[in-house]
Amino acid sequence: MAHPSTYQPRSGAEKWLDERLPVARLMHDQFMTFPTPRNLNYWWTFGGILTFILVAQIVTGVVLAMHYIPAEDRAFDSIEHIMRDVNWGWLLRYSHAVGASMFFLAAYIHTFRGLYYGSYKAPREVLWILGVLILLLMIATAFMGYSLPWGQMSFWAVTVITNLFSSLDAIVPGLGTTLVQWIWGGFAVGGPTLNRLYSLHYLFPFIIAGVVVLHIWALHVPGNNNPAGIEVKSPKETVPFHPYYSIKDGFALLMFLLLFGVFLFFAPNLLGHADNYIPANPLQTPPHIVPEWYFLPFYAILRAVPDKLLGVIALVSSIVVLFFVPWLDTSKVRSTSYRPVYRWFFWAFVVTCIALGYLGSQAPEGWYLFFGRVFTIYYFAFFLVVMPVVGKFERPRRLPGSITEAVLGHAEQPRSRKREAVA
Amino acid sequence: MTRHVFLNLLGTFLLGFAAPDHAVGQDGHAPEIARQSWSFAPPFGTFDNAQLQRGYQVYRDVCGQCHSMRLLSYRNLGEPGGPEFSAKAVEALAAKSQITDGPDDKGQMFQRPGRPSDRFRSPYANEQAARSANKGALPPDLSVMAKARAGGPDYIYALLTGYRDAPPDMNLAPGMYYNEAFPGHQIAMPPLLQDGAVAYTDGTEKTLDNYARDVSAFLMWAAEPKLEERHKVGMRVMIFLLVFAVIMYLAKRTVWAPLHKHRDTQSS
Ligand code: HEM
């Protein structure tokens, strides 16, 4: 949010730097005094949590890379070497592996928060689009990272997912096959594939970090949305980011780390798949090829469609559709709390995503397949039918006149203004 | 065991699904694996050194005839958080195996007694030799076996105690054995563990049940040698985070109090 700079260089050196590269001024204005709506709830703490995990993933990843060997016949053993012989190697490796799960948990909560409170609506469309872009990059990064231990699940997940490109053969014969072999660097998934996946897995987090900077920039132009979904009307409705939100985000981060710790220290393999402790074997297909939990809803959508090419299109669309949400939703009201009809559809959508996650872990047969299809249809209908249509017909509840009213239950009285100035 | 139930519930609650079924047999149903109670169960569990030492004995005397453990070295047997054999005992255990070393100055490979720094000696020179000695079946490496099967040590215990007579309506392939825990129920590994098969010297009863339990615990340690350290560090980190979180919560309340007080006076 545009606000006058309050930065005061405190020493000659700071003044000198400020005239040449005002980086301290930028930090001060954007992260210390940045005016933030005073009514943000704990769902707004996940952005900070995500930033923390991104940094943690990069730090643990860089150190792991010092010990990891991206070769077909050595990758698996080098991971075990890290777990057994490298000082604190088990902590590094489990932090990074469990961290990926926690990253997705936080990103999904963060995204659902955006959906619920209509944070994608004008003027925050670009902010939202950058968020979806981050999600796509995260998916690619996690997929490539999962291949690196070169266990059975790594190998077969790479095989299944890269083979999806061969569905393009249905459009231009030979195109898909050529593309897949180009990706593999050979005629099958093998050493060259592992090497390039490793290279890109190292690269992508830095691209994510770059997009996160843009994401926060795009956040700081319009400023935060808030649970009431109405614009900030006066500076009194905001508080400086520090200390109010730095401390609230800090507390939330600690609570999140406690959850992280439960998995990391007491069940580090619970979220993974046992088969990935079997070294990759191209001659033996595991009975069930299952992706990590955070991909299961998308996997269910892929398998709900009987045709391979259409399945791949559905898979890609299930994420790409998010880019269009700012224009699909026709309601003027941001926060779902004030939308009596839409909220039912919203919660049905949340249930749908969880159900698709469960169905993705089961073999696509019988009732599982049937419900996979039902929920896939609702998944898309939510975006393509519910969002445009409900917004047109729904009569939203009365919005509070201001954030102050939303917080206090009534408009502010003159008497209290003085108090707040003191606070 | 309650811990597993708890974690599964936690998973279900947090992630919306239970850990998916992994070990699915040819008949499409995963055999039910009973939970055992282990000394190393989280959050406080530690390995029972004596049990791991017995487990190593079972591995060495029985399983080691067919299964390699290529990721382990003899020195690991003396490290903290494991069987914790004395340095002398580790040297003696290593020296019992003949290791192929070389080439020497004349370009010849030679045999010498093992040293603590050597990897466990593998029973077969290569996969083909292992298969040909086991009617075509490959005895898998056991280094991380306890993490490579759903159920982990519970599964290994169930497998070793799961040999039964085949039901009359089932046609076992020649050289195969019926096992309740194995997916598909036909396994190429013979039932080698019998009461009295391994000579325990610490007074522990020489029963199949004890052998299976001890070797399963040993394999869990082999797969997760830093488990004790992980639990110990984990407890400390959790306590630190908890205390830090309480302080942070109080600080947060203090910082926000003026704003909230303002709300209270307003609404009163
Ligand atoms: C690496 C991953 C990400 C990081 C580090 C990140 C970081 C942040 C931060 C620090 C904020 C401000 C605090 C907050 O509102 O929680 C924010 C806001 C936001 N993010 Fe993200 N984000 C990430 C991924 C995503 C994704 C995947 C989406 C959606 C597809 C998304 C959508 C949004 C939106 C709409 C806001 C504005 C929320 C509001 O003010 O109401 N972000 N993000």
Task: Give the SS3 label for residue B67.
Answer: coil
According to the model, what pLDDT value does residue A284 have?
94
Distance from CA of A172 to the nearest CA of B (A): 37
Is residue B105 one of the residues assigned to a domain? no
A128 C-alpha to center of ligand 1: Å?
A: 8
Q: Do A357 and B15 touch (CB under 8 A)?
A: yes
CB-based contacts of B246-253 (< 8 A; 24+ apart in sequence)? B248/A247, B248/A250, B248/A251, B248/A254, B249/A251, B251/A247, B251/A251, B252/A247, B252/A248, B252/A250, B252/A251
Separation between Cα atoms, residue A250 and residue A51, nearest integer Å: 12
Q: Which atom of ligand 1 is nearest to the CA of A208?
A: 1
Distance from CA of B236 to the nearest CA of A (A): 10
Which residue segments constitute the domains of chain A, with CATH numbers given?
37-231+239-268+285-289 (1.20.810.10), 295-412 (1.10.287)
Separation between Cα atoms, residue B204 and residue A109, nearest integer Å: 52
Q: C-alpha angle with apex A93: A88 to A97, nearest 5 degrees? A: 150
Is residue B110 one of the residues assigned to a domain? no
pLDDT tens readout for residues A54-110: 999 999 999 999 999 999 999 999 999 999 999 999 999 999 999 999 999 999 999
Main-chain dihedrals φ then ψ at residue B163, nearest 5 degrees: -75, 130
Closest residue in B to A365 (Cα–Cα): B28
A-B C-beta contacts closer than 8 Å: 135
Separation between Cα atoms, residue A103 and residue A295, nearest integer Å: 13
According to the model, what pLDDT value does residue B29 have?
53
According to the model, what pLDDT value does residue B22 have?
38
pLDDT band at A16 (very low <50, low <70, confident <90, very high): very high
Q: Name, in order, each residue with C-beta under 8 angstroms of B159's C-beta and a sequence gap of 6 or more.
A: B179, B181, B182, B187
Is residue B114 one of the residues assigned to a domain? no
Separation between Cα atoms, residue A387 and residue A318, nearest integer Å: 15
Which H or E element spans position A354? helix A342-360
Our answer on whether the CB atom of A54 is closer than 6 Å to any ligand 1 atom is yes
Q: Do A277 and B233 touch (CB under 8 A)?
A: no
From chain B, pick out residues whose CB is under 8 angstroms from the CB of A278: 140, 148
Give me the interface pTM, i.e. the ipTM.
0.91
Task: Give the SS3 label for residue B46.
Answer: coil
According to the model, what pLDDT value does residue B199 have?
95
Is residue B98 one of the residues assigned to a domain? no
Q: Which atom of ligand 1 is nearest to the CA of A44?
A: 16
Q: Do A265 and B43 touch (CB under 8 A)?
A: yes
Chain mean position to CA A275? 26
A130 C-alpha to center of ligand 1: Å?
A: 9
Q: Tell me how many domains chain B contains.
A: 1
A50 C-alpha to center of ligand 1: Å?
A: 8
Q: Do A244 and B10 touch (CB under 8 A)?
A: no
Q: Identify the residue among A73, A247, A263 best suited for mutation to test binding to B, counting B beta carbons within 10 A and taking the highest.
A: A247
From chain A, pick out residues whose CB is under 8 angstroms from the CB of B150: 274
Among candidates B144, B234, B248 on the partner chain, residue whose Cβ is nearest the Cβ of A247: B248
Q: Identify the residue among B8, B10, B15, B219 best suited for mutation to test binding to A, counting A beta carbons within 10 A and taking the highest.
A: B15
Q: Which atom of ligand 1 is nearest to the CA of A117?
A: 41
Mean pLDDT of B216-235: 98
pLDDT band at B268 (very low <50, low <70, confident <90, very high): very low
Helix, strand, coil % over all residues of chain A, rounded to 5: 70, 0, 30
Q: What is the CATH number of the domain that holds B130?
A: 1.10.760.10
Mean pLDDT of A309-313: 96
According to the model, what pLDDT value does residue B262 have?
58
Q: Name, in order, each residue with C-beta under 8 angstroms of A177's C-beta and a sequence gap of 6 or more.
A: A166, A169
Q: Are A256 and A49 in contact (CB under 8 A)?
A: yes
Q: Identify the residue among B1, B7, B10, B17 best suited for mutation to test binding to A, counting A beta carbons within 10 A and taking the highest.
A: B17
pLDDT tens readout for residues B149-189: 999 999 999 999 999 999 999 989 999 999 999 999 999 99
Separation between Cα atoms, residue B75 and residue B119, nearest integer Å: 9
**Atom 31 (ligand 1) nearest CA:** A131
According to the model, what pLDDT value does residue A306 have?
94
Q: How many residues does chain B have?
A: 268
From chain A, pick out residues whose CB is under 8 angstroms from the CB of B263: 407-408
pLDDT tens readout for residues A244-281: 999 999 999 999 999 999 999 999 999 999 999 999 99
Mean pLDDT of B96-120: 95
According to the model, what pLDDT value does residue B24 have?
40
pLDDT band at B266 (very low <50, low <70, confident <90, very high): very low
Is residue B8 one of the residues assigned to a domain? yes
Mean pLDDT, chain B, rounded, equals 89
Closest residue in A to B246 (Cα–Cα): A251
Is residue B97 one of the residues assigned to a domain? no
Q: Are A265 and B231 in contact (CB under 8 A)?
A: yes
- What does the radius of gyration of chain A's CA atoms come to, in whole angstroms? 24
Our answer on whether the CB atom of A219 is closer than 6 Å to any ligand 1 atom is yes
According to the model, what pLDDT value does residue A124 have?
98
Closest residue in A to B253 (Cα–Cα): A248
Terminal-residue alpha carbon distance, chain A: 21
Our answer on whether the CB atom of A51 is closer than 6 Å to any ligand 1 atom is yes
Mean pLDDT of A216-234: 96
According to the model, what pLDDT value does residue A409 have?
77
Distance from CA of B124 to the nearest CA of A (A): 19
**Atom 3 (ligand 1) nearest CA:** A50
According to the model, what pLDDT value does residue B46 have?
97
Separation between Cα atoms, residue A75 and residue A198, nearest integer Å: 11
Task: Give the SS3 label for residue B163.
Answer: strand
Among A219, A319, A320, A335, which residue has the most ligand 1 atoms within 8 Å of its CB, making it the best to mutate? Answer: A219
Is residue B215 one of the residues assigned to a domain? yes
Q: What percent of chain A has pLDDT over 70?
A: 97
Our answer on whether the CB atom of A232 is closer than 6 Å to any ligand 1 atom is no
Mean pLDDT, chain A, rounded, equals 95
Mean pLDDT of B235-263: 93
Q: Name the burial class of residue B267, with classes exposed (0-12), middle (13-18) and buried (19+) by CB atoms within 10 angstroms of its CB.
A: exposed
Q: Identify the residue among B4, B120, B142, B241 best suited for mutation to test binding to A, counting A beta carbons within 10 A and taking the highest.
A: B241
pLDDT band at B27 (very low <50, low <70, confident <90, very high): very low
Q: Which atom of ligand 1 is nearest to the CA of A51?
A: 5
pLDDT tens readout for residues A152-163: 999 999 999 999
Q: Are A74 and A14 in contact (CB under 8 A)?
A: no
Domain of B151 in residue numbering reads as: 2-72+119-267
What 8-state DSSP symbol labels residue B113? E
Our answer on whether the CB atom of A44 is closer than 6 Å to any ligand 1 atom is yes
Separation between Cα atoms, residue A221 and residue A243, nearest integer Å: 21
Task: Look up residue A211 and give its two tokens.
Answer: 């997009």
Is residue B11 one of the residues assigned to a domain? yes
Tokens 């897995």 belong to which residue? Answer: A201
Q: Do B267 and A268 touch (CB under 8 A)?
A: no
Our answer on whether the CB atom of A141 is closer than 6 Å to any ligand 1 atom is no
A389 C-alpha to center of ligand 1: Å?
A: 27
Range with the lowest mean pLDDT among A44-58, A204-218, A235-249, B251-265? B251-265
